[in-house]
Amino acid sequence: MDRKRFGLFARQLRSIVQIQGVGPWKSSLVVFTMVLLSVSFPIFLVTGYTALYWAWLRSNLGAALPYLPWAKNFGMVAMIGAAAALGILFSSGTFPIPATIRLSLSLLATTTIAFFSEFRNEGKFHFKQLIHCFGPGTWIHDGLNQVVASLGDFLYRIEYSHWNDFLMGPAIVSVLFFLVFAKIYGAFRDPGQMSLGGSTADASPDLDHALRFARILMNVGLFWFFTQAWAEKAGYLSNPHSIDEIDLPFEFAGTMLGFWMARILTRPFEQRSEKFRSTFLVDFLVSGVIGLAYTLIVGPLTEGVASAVAHGLYPVVPASLDIHEYTPLQRHMRPFELLLLAGALWWSLNRYFKHEEMTLLSSTYEEPEADSK
């Protein structure tokens, strides 16, 4: 009986998506993503936070261990579903899904990311290496090493050293969107002021205000994290848990992904489109370039210049001058170095992609004329 009800639900959901002219395989992908999140996320939530309860609040690691494999496996499956949901939301031209389905996908994806990030953040203190999916001794780690030499070791390093850093940006957006979702959904469901098929003048002012408020709130959270990451790398703040030298590119990539999540989650439901000058892929890749350039070029270059000056002034350089430490000048200059580098790259990319944007906008404006003919 439950299987029949599940099949009926899937068929109804697919029919809802197909009303908007979405192709069969696209509608099947949307339905599969929603079903995958609806099944994997509750299992992860129950098992993962039960394990945290025993390990964190009750200080009983033995009682938490039976739940941990379920939490790790279904947590990763849920995150794969969340990534697929974000891909669908980002590809609004390919997946013109109705607003109700879009809101449901947004809620499922952000809720999954928020709870998974908190589980990972707290689990690294209480479970140590037991929380890692690619940890040594696991079947996937050993299998990947047999397929490609050191591939499992590489993924394990990414997971324990950089995965949490990357998740911070999407997690901030997910938590804040989860808080304002009821406000957005309430404004969307108001039948007296909302007309999805109407013109721009028919748009609900309450919905516009809710989306604007959500975007401001999420951007403030992202800017706060961006500033904090700056302060740690510049030496103004100390973080005993941040000991990796190249975690900045992953923090910046997650922050950039968070900014684009804030944009797509607060996109108007009508046919209006916001005019962004660069693409998600470009911003995502450039965030990594900025972080790597800052970490691997700017920092060593500054230290190299200081060392060269020291060798020129002293016949025998004291050992203290060869130790890589932040000087007061470096602490004050590094945020500005990063800002200058980021600004130059953003200006170059916006200039390069401006022509492509104007081409897309002009083609968009020509479509109603062709339809009228």
Contact (Cβ atoms closer than 8 angstroms) between residue 161 and residue 244:
yes
Contact (Cβ atoms closer than 8 angstroms) between residue 142 and residue 92:
no
Quick one: 233 exposed, middle or buried, by C-beta within 10 A (0-12, 13-18, 19+)? buried
pLDDT tens-digit readout, 282-326: 776 777 677 667 666 666 676 677 677 766 766 665 555 555 555
Residue whose C-alpha is closest to residue 132's, from 74, 72, 189, 221: 72
| Range scoring the smallest mean pLDDT among 43-47, 177-181, 231-235, 273-277 | 273-277
DSSP per-residue letters across 166-217: HHHHHHHHHHHHHHHHHHHHHHHT-TTT--TTS-GGGS-HHHHHHHHHHHHH
- pTM for the model stands at 0.73
pLDDT tens-digit readout, 85-103: 999 998 877 888 888 888 9
Residue 165: count other Cβ atoms within 10 Å of its Cβ.
Answer: 21
Where residue 368 falls among pLDDT bands split at 50, 70, 90? very low
Task: Enumerate the domain spans of the chain.
Answer: 8-131, 135-312+321-353
| Residue-averaged pLDDT of the chain | 75
> How many percent of the chain have pLDDT more than 90?
17
Three-point CA angle 27, 97, 92, nearest 5°: 110
Q: Is the dihedral of CA 338, 344, 345, 350 positive or negative?
A: positive
Q: Residue range 113-138: average pLDDT? A: 85
Instruction: Measure the CA dihedral 79/25/184/264, to 10°.
Output: 70
Residue 189: count other Cβ atoms within 10 Å of its Cβ.
Answer: 11
Contact (Cβ atoms closer than 8 angstroms) between residue 214 and residue 184:
yes
Contact (Cβ atoms closer than 8 angstroms) between residue 152 and residue 237:
no
Tallying the residues shown for the chain, one arrives at 373
Residue 38: count other Cβ atoms within 10 Å of its Cβ.
Answer: 14
Query: What is the C-alpha separation between 226 and 322, in angstroms, rounded?
Result: 30
Looking at residue 276, the DSSP 8-state letter turns out to be -
| Range scoring the smallest mean pLDDT among 152-166, 202-216, 337-351 | 337-351
If one compares 322 and 167, the residue with the highest pLDDT of the two is 167
Residue 280 makes CB contacts below 8 A (sequence gap 6+) with 90, 260
Looking at residue 247, the DSSP 8-state letter turns out to be -
DSSP per-residue letters across 315-369: SS--GGGGS----HHHHHHHHHHHHHHHHHHHHHHHHHHHHHHHHHHHHHHHHHH
Contact (Cβ atoms closer than 8 angstroms) between residue 20 and residue 98:
yes
Looking at residue 238, the DSSP 8-state letter turns out to be -
pLDDT tens-digit readout, 33-52: 999 999 999 999 999 999 99
Quickly list H helices, the chain: 2-18, 24-52, 61-64, 68-90, 99-126, 139-147, 151-157, 164-188, 205-234, 248-265, 280-293, 299-313, 328-372
pLDDT of residue 12: 58
Q: Residue range 354-367: average pLDDT? A: 47
pLDDT of residue 244: 60
Contact (Cβ atoms closer than 8 angstroms) between residue 213 and residue 180:
yes
If one compares 182 and 137, the residue with the highest pLDDT of the two is 182
Where residue 363 falls among pLDDT bands split at 50, 70, 90? very low
